[in-house]
Structure 1
Amino acid sequence: MLKLRGEHPFYEPPKWALLERRLIDLMNEAVEPLMARYVRPDGSILWPASDAHTGIDALDDMYESFFNWPLFYVLGGHEKFKSLSKHEFEAITKQFAKYDTGTGHKMIENEYEQGYDWFHQGEGYTFFYHMGMMDPQDPKIRERAMRFAGLFLNEDPEVVNYDEEHRIIPYPHSGSKGATDRNIEQNRKGWHYAEWMRFYGLHFQDVPGVTTIDDTRTEAGALALGNAVADRMARGDVPLNLLATSMVTNAYLHTGDPKYKSWVKTYVDAWIERSRENGGMIPDNIGLTGKIGEHNGGKWYGGWYGWTWPHGWVSIGQGVGVAAQNAMLLERDPSYAEFLRTQLAKMNEQAEVVDGTRFIPYKFGDPGWYGFDMQMNNVLFEDRTKSVAFRKEDKSVLWKDGWFEFQPMDPVYPTHLWYMSMEEKDRELLKSLRNYAEPDWDHIRYYRAKDQAGHDYAWVSYLEGEYPNYPEEILTYNLSQIYQRLHFMRTDTENPAGYKDDYIQIRNPITLEGLLQLTLGAPSPLYNGGLLTSRLRYFDADVKRPGLPQDVAALVSSLTADRTVVELVNLNATETRNVILQAGAFGEHQFTGVTYTVTGAAQDDGSKLSGSTTMEKMPSGLFVPPAVEREADVDDKWLQLELLPGCRITLALGMTRFANDPSYLEPWEAAANG
């Protein structure tokens, strides 16, 4: 492993570095009031209020409440996050194994979700995937990873979650009691109206007696829609099931067993073939014999969590994006980016341009009633004016040639596409999909999102030199998020008896978007079960644990297909820090060379000056010696750096992406194994 020394003094610590370390320190402190007030000492949750609780929903919300805690540890969070993460996973798993679903099983059976859709499973089990990076040596984490993935390889003789002949997960709900229709069949009792339904519209436009969502307020309407849902949606494969590829990929990262890689490739390739058969667009319902629309009158749309109901592209895009990334990671094949690219291109072809912004349709369905409410701003009405959330003035959402819910594209999807491919055409697509009427790439905007993220366009602008203040501004924003939640907890008067299943989520003070982007050069993982995808990872070489060492800050300032530029700073004034850099989240990339900065004049070894040979004057009036560039050969997934006290170093790292077999292998484990 190549070892370099960072010895160039900074004298004035960079503001971004101070903010970065303050953010880490604040999050280290901020979980104490949450744990003390909102979680029992044994780790169990204050929801539900009764042990007699019955239902199939909300296990995901419990795991989800801590989804980013192990990832924070991986970035350099306090050691307690490792023990807290394990403690909470064990406690929640034990607690929710007590609750009945009303369908003949407990909510958790054999330590795993009894059977639910992958929109929710993906949200919840992200917590578990990050634990693999956090502590891959833990035998319980590894054993569960293999056993949970084995559920989808039919390794439990009593559980069938996969049809090898037709290459499908045969039902929209799957889990430890097998793929099943039992949960959706419960809708034959009636799809009774609830307030949340008014934001999502109807599943179908051809159910007799159900022409608007208000018709489900009647017993006849509720029964009619409920039976239609069970008839058309309960059976067959859906794109959301692609999120199961993360569970199987996670097992591969632990073991390297080729059976997991083979399953992911086979399953993703099957969906790609179906999409090609459907003219490029991914169909959202595949029948039990593998035919598109088999149980839905031959229609390629109208499946469970599909193109029509409830979220459209929001859930479709998660499945496609996660699957494409997992296949690309395991197969080291960049062509899998085309799976996501094609979907974005097809939707973009239908775009409506208003005020210079491309409004992309998120949903597809039959002609009918589109007068439902919207939870977000900027969805086009039928007169092509823009809506304001909750104030639609009895207008209908624009429906055009089957497409509806036209809105600016969420930046997460084109950003992840560009990040996967690093191709110019995808960068151009990303820039073309910005919201030009209400710019979202040149300043920090408040977003209410589960992952506390949403600033992908602004981050990419920073990488391109268009938004130089982004590091300081996103870190300041992240700090404000934490202080806001701490204040909320201090002044919280809500009665615990009234807590909803997301009560911890809305109080969780861990926010990682800025740290991921700036330190790892990484977008936030796709929320419904995406694995971390990053250019770099760090390990503390002195204490042999993941993450940036104490007092060390990092800033990735440039990304191209074969180059990553990062600056590292040691803010400690008296102690040296030793950090190992890894190429990729799972060592999937390879360093091919490095140009780095040192102090002094040019050397006879071919080093090149980065600036003047005279002393450089700082804004404070202090003078510092010039930085000199040197070059070194490297052909490894790891590189070690000794950072002297009060010093900084800039590394321009040559990289070959997806050159290595990915794994959770840590550098000291590799050294021990020779």
Structure 2
Amino acid sequence: MIKMTAEASWVPPQWALMERLLFDSLNQAAVEFVNRYVRSDGTLIWRSDWPGMDGSDDPYEGFMYLALLYVLGGSDETLELARKVWEGITWQWTEYGQINREFDAYYDWMHHGEGYLYFYFLGLAEPSCLKNRQRAGRFAAMYTGDDRDASNYDKEKRLIRSPINGSKGPRFDMTEEDWITHRGILDHYAAPFEDVPGVDFASGKCAWSDDAVYKEIIRLMNQRMARGDVPLNLNATGMVTNAYLYTGQQSDRDWVLDYAAAWKERIAANGGIIPDNVGLTGVVGEYMDGKWWGGYYGWRWPHGFLTIIEPLIIAATNAVLLTGDMKQLDIARSQLDRNWELRKVVEGCELVPYKHLDAGWSDYRPADPLYPIHLWFISMANEDLERVRRIGLDDSSLKIAIPGLSGTAEGAHRSTKHYNGNTIPWFQYMQGNFPDYPERILEANYRLIHHQLLKMRSAEGDPEEWRSDGFNLDDLSSIHKWQEMCPIYFEGLLQMTLGAPMHISHGGLQHASVRYYDARRQRPGLPADVGALVESVDADSITLQLVNLSLFEWKEVIVQAGAFGEHRFEEVKMFNQQGEEMQRSAVGDKWLAIELAPGAGCRLKLSVSRYVNRPTYASVWPDRYEGEILTGRTQ
């Protein structure tokens, strides 16, 4: 590994001071958050029962950023807390009945995807963890057709056999108890079918809380939706890719590529538009009277295009990670392009359809640049940049969103998940259009943490108020409380240090331009007192600042090319704060060590070959137990 030394004094910029303030604040907030809501054994202070199939994704989501904070450079204690809480939630929801064999018994891949982000972040944080490596292989086998107790995948037909799946296999017959926790919320959404007795589909509302209507919905869902494959299942490629990142097992790689290819073939056979339901025999529309629309979380579902394009992007970017082949993005590109072709102009605005009903395309809205931005970050290709630009970015793209925080100068301009709403402004910064974005987003990040701490400490944040026995529809909101109260949010910190957008919240891996290791402590993340800023990325280079704010201690940072070491640094040029070139060196490696003198900093211009290495969770330091698997009796 090449090592370079930066000794030139570097006056800390505001962004570097803010980063270190955020790390300090988040480390303390993590401890307070866990102490507020978690018992000493890792279980959550909550109710004694929870019905239905919904549930485990929400507590996982509430605490998942403990692990990702450690990856960025959070305290050692954040990793200890992340481990403890993951184990506690898994045990607790097993007792409630939602989890079986440490994995959701059955649910859909929008919710699996959300909840298992926690598990993916643990892979980045602690790749040598034997328990999680072994779990990763076991969880992946539930979807590759290699687990006889979870027969989710049909290897011959290349399809996942139900939209509702998990450790107990496909769920072909849902019950009224399965959906009980959704009834109050779904009252405000459109019906899943246009012919539910007693429901006016055109009203956009469906009374799930009406017992007679509810029985009909469950009957029709079992008849039409519960069997066969849907695009949402492409999120399962994240779980199988996660296993590959631990072990490099070829069969996991092959499964991801083959399953994505099967959907590409279905798109081609359906005239270029992805069908949203495939029967158990492989026939599109098998249980929908031949209609290619109307499936679970499909074209007629309230979310429409969102829950179709997101799984396609997740699967496509996983496939690129595994192969380096940018053609793998075509499965998602093709649907963005087809959706754009279907646009119409209304009062001077170009709108695209988000739904397809029996009467045809509907629910026309502005196209969302978020989707092509994720593709552009992976490809750095002009064609994906053009997919962003054709939509056009309005003035809101140069404003910071602070989701959940009203009364601010800028306010939230996007509906967001996990308080992440600034991918588009970050993209503008990468394009050179938002030069003060680093300071602005880090300040907004600080305000959000403060706001969340105040809310957590209030009467609203008291977990004793959420506890109850028995169940009624008014109890549903408490399952989301941990997400609502969590102060461990750091979109700005991640964007600035990793040079990447936040992951797609329904199951996307956390990709990155670079990540870091503390060489002296031999652990992931930036060393204490070190700030990092990715200033720009393009197809063959990354520009990065590193600053040591300590005036007393030397620091050594190992910079890795890509979140999973998938890239390679070819050459590095080091500049001082005045812009003068100080050093240059060939690298030819996925790692580069930078030693920082007290009070020193540097700007690095790194030439990069992208997606040339096998991606892996493996860190700089060898794992003495790599490849070890614990086995027991088979009879």
TM-score above 0.5? yes
Kindly provide the CA deviation profile for residues 310-364 of structure 1, in whole angstroms up to 9, marking residues without a partner as x. Answer: 3112221221111011111112211111111111111122234457654332222
For residues 273 and 62 of structure 1, do their structure 2 counterparts lie closer, same or farther at Cα, with a shift above 3 Å needed? same
Match of 1:91 in 2: 88
Kept in 2: contact 1:411–1:454 (CA 8 A):
no
- Offset at residue 628 of structure 1 (A): 2.7
Among 79, 103, 107, the residue aligned to 1:112: 103
Relative to structure 1, is the Cα distance of residues 484 and 332 closer, same or farther in structure 2, using a 3 angstrom cutoff? same
Superposed displacement of residue 193, structure 1: 9.5
Paired residue type of 1:265: L
Q: Does 1:657 align with 2:627?
A: no
1:143 matched to 2:134? The reply is: yes
Asked if structure 2 preserves the Cα contact closer than 8 Å seen for 1:441 and 1:458, the reply is yes
Q: Is contact 1:591–1:655 with CA below 8 Å preserved after alignment?
A: yes
1:631 is matched with which residue?
584
* Distance in structure 2 (CA, Å) of the matches to 1:470 and 1:112: 40
Counterpart in the other structure of 1:666? 619
Query: Residues 129 and 216 of structure 1: is their aligned pair in 2 closer, same or farther, counting only changes over 3 Å?
Result: closer
Name the counterpart of 1:383.
none
Taking structure 1 as reference, are residues 539 and 435 closer, same or farther at Cα in structure 2, changes over 3 Å only?
Answer: same
Q: CA deviation at 1:630?
A: 3.4
For 2:119, the equivalent position in structure 1 comes to: 128
The Cα of 1:258 is off from its aligned counterpart by 0.4
Deviations 1:148-203 (A, max 9, x none): 111122333333111001000111111111122133xx259999994422443121
User: 1:243 Cα deviation (Å)?
Assistant: 0.8
Structure 2 distance, partners of 1:357, 1:8, is: 52
Q: Does 1:306 find its partner at 2:298?
A: yes
Cα distance in 2 for partners of 1:429, 1:327 equals 20
Q: Name the CA distance, whole Å, in 2 between partners of 1:356 and 1:136.
A: 52
1:661 Cα deviation after fit:
0.6
Change (3 A) 1:192 1:113: closer
Partner of 2:48: 50
Secondary structure of the 1:224 match is helix
**Residues 350 and 360, structure 1, Cα contact 8 Å, conserved in 2:** yes
Q: Contact 1:193–1:217 (CA<8 Å) still a contact in 2?
A: no
Distance 1:319 1:354, change over 3 A: same
8 Å CA contact 1:408, 1:435 repeated in 2: no
Q: C-alpha separation between the residues in 2 aligned to 1:150 and 1:316?
A: 24
| One-letter amino acid matched to 1:496 | W
Q: 1:17 aligns to what SS in structure 2? A: helix
Cα distance in 2 between the residues matched to 1:643 and 1:327: 37
For the 8 Å contact 1:409–1:434, the answer to whether it is kept is: no
Tell me, yes or no, if the aligned pair for 2:105 and 2:168 is still in contact at 8 Å: yes
Deviation at 1:629, TM superposition (A): 4.4
**Aligned equivalents of 1:189 and 1:543: distance in 2?**
47
1:140 shift after superposition? 0.6
Q: Classify the secondary structure of the residue corresponding to 2:365.
A: strand
Instruction: Assess, with a 3 A threshold, how the Cα gap between structure 1 residues 193 and 13 changes in structure 2: closer, same or farther.
Output: closer
| TM-score (norm: length of structure 2) | 0.90
Task: Give 1:462's aligned amino acid.
Answer: Y
Superposed displacement of residue 268, structure 1: 0.8
Matches within 5 A, 1:497-508: 497=467, 500-508=478-486
Q: Letter of the aligned partner of 2:9 in structure 1?
A: P
Deviations 1:528-553 (A, max 9, x none): 11111111010000000000111111
Contact 1:434 1:441 in 2 (8 A): no
Q: Using a 3 Å threshold, how does the CA distance of structure 1 residues 14 and 216 change in structure 2: closer, same or farther?
A: closer
Q: Does 1:443 align with 2:394?
A: no
Aligned residue for 1:616?
none
2:455 equivalent in structure 1: 488
Of residues 519, 535, 538 in structure 1, which corresponds to 2:513?
535
Q: Matched residue of 1:582: which SS?
A: strand
Aligned equivalent of 1:617? none
Q: CA deviation at 1:580?
A: 0.4
Instruction: Give the distance between the partners of 2:41 and 2:142, measured in 1 at CA.
Output: 29
Q: Does 1:78 align with 2:75?
A: yes
Query: 1:34, 1:516 → 2: CA distance?
Result: 20
Listed one character per residue, the Cα deviations across residues 277-321 of structure 1 (whole Å, up to 9, x for unaligned) are 122221111100111111111111111111111311222122111
AA aligned to 1:57 is D
Q: Which residue does 1:160 correspond to in 2?
A: 151
1:146 Cα deviation (Å)?
1.0
Quick one: which of 267, 275, 282 aligns to 1:283? 275
**Considering only aligned residues, what root-mean-square deviation do their CA atoms show, in Å?**
2.3
Q: 1:126 to 1:267 in 2, by over 3 A?
A: same
Unaligned 5+ residue runs, structure 1? 100-105, 368-401, 600-609, 612-626
1:561 aligns to 2:539 (yes or no): yes
* Counterpart selection for 2:251 from 259, 283, 288: 259
Residue 472 of structure 1 pairs with residue 439 of structure 2: yes
Q: What does 1:149-548 correspond to in 2, within 5 Å? A: 149-183=140-174, 186=175, 194-212=183-201, 213=205, 220-353=212-345, 357-367=349-359, 402-436=360-394, 439-448=395-404, 449-493=416-460, 495-497=465-467, 500-548=478-526
**TM alignment of 1:582-621, pairs within 5 A:** 582-598=560-576
Q: Using a 3 Å threshold, how does the CA distance of structure 1 residues 216 and 445 change in structure 2: closer, same or farther?
A: closer
Deviations 1:445-497 (A, max 9, x none): 33353321121121111112111110000000000000001111222345233
How has the CA–CA distance of structure 1 residues 465 and 96 changed in structure 2, closer, same or farther, with 3 Å as cutoff? same
Instruction: Judge conservation of contact 1:62–1:92 (CA < 8 Å) in 2.
Output: yes
The 1:590/1:192 distance shift into structure 2, 3 A limit, reads closer
1:220, distance to aligned residue in structure 2 (A) = 4.7
**Could you say if the C-alpha distance between residues 63 and 672 of structure 1 is closer, same or farther in structure 2, counting changes exceeding 3 Å?**
closer
> Which residue matches 1:18?
17
Note if contact 1:7-1:598 (Cα within 8 Å) is conserved in structure 2: no
How many angstroms apart in 2 are the aligned matches of 1:507 and 1:191?
A: 24
Q: Report the CA distance shift for 1:32/1:492 in structure 2 as closer, same or farther (over 3 A).
A: farther
Deviates more, 1:568-577 or 1:223-232: 223-232
Q: Cα–Cα, structure 1 residues 358 and 30, in superposed 2: closer, same or farther, change >3 Å?
A: farther
For the residues of structure 1 that align with 2:20 and 2:3, how far apart are their CA atoms?
Answer: 24
Q: Identify unmatched segments of 5+ residues in structure 2.
A: 405-415, 468-474, 627-635
Structure 2 residue identity aligned to 1:427: L
- Deviation of 1:427 after TM superposition, in Å, equals 1.2
> For 1:359 and 1:107, how far apart are their aligned partners in 2?
40
Larger radius of gyration: 1
SS in 1 for 2:452: helix
CA contact (8 A) 1:187 1:227 kept: no
Q: Deviations over 1:611-640 (max 9, x none)?
A: 6xxxxxxxxxxxxxxx33433211111110
- Using a 3 Å threshold, how does the CA distance of structure 1 residues 188 and 147 change in structure 2: closer, same or farther? closer
Decide whether the 8 Å contact of 1:589 with 1:659 is kept in 2.
yes
Percent of residue pairs bearing the same amino acid type? 42
The 2-side partners of 1:201 and 1:433 are apart by 28
What letter corresponds to residue 5 of structure 2 in structure 1? R
Partner of 1:4: 4
Q: Which residue of 2 aligns with 1:35?
A: 34
Q: Is the 1:115–1:174 contact (alpha carbons within 8 Å) kept by the matching residues of 2? A: yes
CA distance in 2, matches of 1:444, 1:291: 46
The superposition leaves residues 481-525 of structure 1 with CA deviations (integer Å, 9 ceiling, x where unpaired) of 000011112223452336610111111111121122111111101
TM-score (normalised: structure 1): 0.85
Comparing 30-39 with 412-421, greater Cα deviation is found at 30-39
**Matched-pair contact (CA < 8 Å) for 1:571–1:646:** yes
Q: Against the structure 1 CA distance between its residues 193 and 416, is the aligned structure 2 distance closer, same or farther, given a 3 Å change threshold?
A: closer
Q: Is the 8 A contact 2:187 2:208 kept in 1?
A: no
Letter in 2 for 1:473: R
How many angstroms apart in 2 are the aligned matches of 1:66 and 1:220?
A: 38
Match for 2:612: what amino acid?
A
Deviation at 1:274, TM superposition (A): 0.7
* Count of aligned pairs: 601
